[in-house]
A and B are shown apart, each in its own frame.
Chain A
Amino acid sequence: MARLLRINTRTKKVTEDTLAGDYAGLGGRGLTSRIVRKEVPPTCHPLSAANKLIVAPGLLTGTTAANTGRLSVGGKSPLTGTIKESNAGGTFSQKLARLDIMGLVLEDKPDPDAAFQVIFISKNGVQLTEVPEISGLGTYDASTKLFEKFGSKVGIMVIGPAGENSRLASSIQFTDPKGNPSRAAGRGGLGALMGSKKIKAIVIDSQDAKAPEVADKEAFKAAAKRWAEILVSHPVTGQGLPSYGTSILINIINEAGTLPTKNFRDGRFDKAADISGEKMVELINQRKGVAKEGCHAGCVIQCSQKYCDENGQYLTSGFEYETVWAFGSNLLISNMDHIAHLDRLCDDLGLDTIETGTTVAMAMEAGVIPWGDGLAAIDLLKRIYDPKDYLGAIIGNGTAFTAEAFGVDRVPVVKKQSLPAYDPRAAKGVGVTYATTPMGADHTAGYAICQNILKVGGDIDPLGKQGNVEVSKNLQIATAAVDATGFCLFVAFAVLDTDDALDTIAKLISSRFGISFTADDIGKTGIEILKDEYSFNRDAGFTKAHDQLPDFFIQEELPPHKVKWDFTVDELQKAKVEI
């Protein structure tokens, strides 16, 4: 029976339920958002004892179906004050699923001077221990020591100094199959929530655990085979992503005139070629890195990589388009090694790369460091290791906070979460998503770049208004459902273009659980999730006035297409599922 473990971080008491009642049949984002909706007071302070941190593998995680090892992490976001689901790769999720743990809930909070704890979960149960030698450490050193202590086969969920000090831009990091803590539940400051509960790491050992059985083995096997074919035969998931990683987008987004440059002043960067996926692969090959890796076992797309420095030493992995943009064209930095160092620092400090890149832009706006100066940006981030460094404290708290600290009024955030790597004026479908998703500005919540630019799943003009509200709404529903399954969102490229893909997913879910689940139920699942999320936000005090982009997008034309943001408040509301 699917297990729901609750750990009281103050009393250290562990209780176990099965998933029943309101939680029956839920997984991933479906479960995290339902628990937040039912159990977290919407108006609570996100760092208070009333908030909860929830970790949930997807419905299909732990099975042999390809690309099902993703994890949802939820809570009330310290950054935005909204409900939050942040989705991560790494090996942790499959290990939870192998122990039949569908949800892990951290509750309450210890006294402020209590020592940080490490939670160890195995088939023998749950233990909380102090591991004082890892307190204050970056996630790389901390996970090295945890592997030494608990064995090399464990999966680790860990925060860095940023999360320990409850910085609002902090992430939770997860170890990948090679043991590097380079996969992040980045968005929304959930590392600060984990830090407030005084949990430095959760270590999971699923050795010798008997994975839950699939209900209808034959049907599942057939559906899983077709599923892998769908992914491998699509040109994006079968070739484009494996060959170049996600940074393959730099050039096309730049050509499309929607690559935000110098804090969203231009849609093109004259040095885009220097930070492109093509360039990254060239450097990786020269330095004997690895151009193609999965973030968990069973990923057939493999968009991750091993990026080495000038001396051939491992520097970072999971080095994604969004990160290259955030520290690259956004800051006018064109040195790929500087950008890779900044990525590494974020993973080690436990910081969201998107939020931190836009935060450094605020420091550049204010003249704290010069535009384009990668080395100065590296020095700036290093200050976040020191909990007493006031400048580090400001930068670690994200874009909106840093802008306020320095009196900057060009602040690319929605609900205090920073915009990612597409200018909304020249990619209007994703702009609608930024404005209206319950998460604060987030591209993954409804990735209309597919239809606006990449011509996957349709063709909608990115510069005009027509069709962009509808496409964002439909994608937000579909994405919520995908996030409940444990699928990596990149499967969407193939799903959108393949006729029997939704049926195949429905067959996987039906045969996994021995229930009748149809393609129609996928959409219903997404709608239910969004209802939980929007109603939580409403009760937390969010109104349609919060579903807007910053004024400068309305006032300033974006070169080269000379376009502005021009949706009204009420037009945007049509992108939201009605509560």
Chain B
Amino acid sequence: MKIQVTCFATLARYSPQGGVLEVNPGATPQDVLDLLAIPGNEVKIVFVNGQNSGRDVLLQENDRVGIFPAIGGG
């Protein structure tokens, strides 16, 4: 199945081509990190459909995944 994945800030270089990634049904955000070879300790926040998510939830077709390092500002 296809999901949308964007990596931000220092992780931007790991974003998949065109922002779309093909994963197996039953894949989790952790599988996405592994597939894209993103070092887990550089990741602070994973959003699935705009909500903070664990790395072990089941992804659905067309889910929107955002991957961020530690970020602050304001």
Contact = CB atoms under 8 A, between A and B. Distances in A.
Given A235-B44, A241-B73, A249-B74, A561 B50 contact: yes
A128 interface: no
A241 B50 CA distance: 22
B70 A235 contact: yes
Interface in A64-86: none
| Interface-central residue, B8, B9, B72, by most chain A CB under 10 Å | B72
A246 interface: yes
Contacts of B44: 235, 455
Chain A facing B: main interface SS: helix
A240 B74 contact: no
B73 A245 contact: yes
Given A235-B69, A243-B10, A255 B74 contact: no
| Interface-central residue, A320, A454, A456, A463, by most chain B CB under 10 Å | A454
Contacts of B50: 255-257, 267-268, 560-561
Instruction: Give the contact-size bracket for chain B.
Output: 20 to 34
Interface in A219-260: 234-237, 239-241, 243-249, 251-252, 255-257
Contacts of A239: 10, 69-70
Contacts of B10: 239, 243
B9 A240 contact: yes
A477 interface: no
Interface residues of A, number: 43
B72 A490 contact: yes
Contacts of A277: 9, 73
B73 A247 contact: yes
Contacts of B66: 251-252, 255
Contacts of A490: 72-74
Contacts of A235: 44, 69-70
A236 B71 contact: yes
Contacts of A256: 47, 50-51
Interface string A432-461: 000000000001100101100111100100
Nearest to A245: B73
A251 B9 contact: yes
A321 interface: yes
B20 interface: no
A470 interface: no
B51 A463 contact: yes
B73 A321 contact: yes
A102 B70 CA distance: 36
B10 to A, nearest CB: 7
Interface string B57-74: 000000000101111111
A303 B47 CA distance: 25
A454 B45 contact: yes
A252 B68 CA distance: 8
A322 interface: yes
B52 interface: yes
Interface in A395-422: none
A444 B74 CA distance: 8
A211 B19 CA distance: 55
B8 A251 contact: yes
Given A255-B47, A454-B45, A454-B71, A278 B52 contact: no
B12 interface: yes
B50 to A, nearest CB: 4
Contacts of A455: 44-45, 52
Given A252-B71, A257-B50, 12 more contacts: A241-B72, A249-B71, A249-B73, A249-B74, A252-B45, A255-B66, A321-B73, A455-B45, A456-B72, A489-B74, A560-B49, A561-B51
Interface of B: 6, 8-10, 12, 44-45, 47, 49-52, 66, 68-74
22 contacts: A236-B71, A237-B72, A240-B9, A240-B73, A249-B74, A251-B66, A251-B68, A252-B66, A255-B47, A256-B50, A277-B73, A278-B9, A321-B74, A454-B72, A455-B45, A455-B52, A456-B70, A456-B72, A463-B51, A489-B74, A490-B74, A561-B50
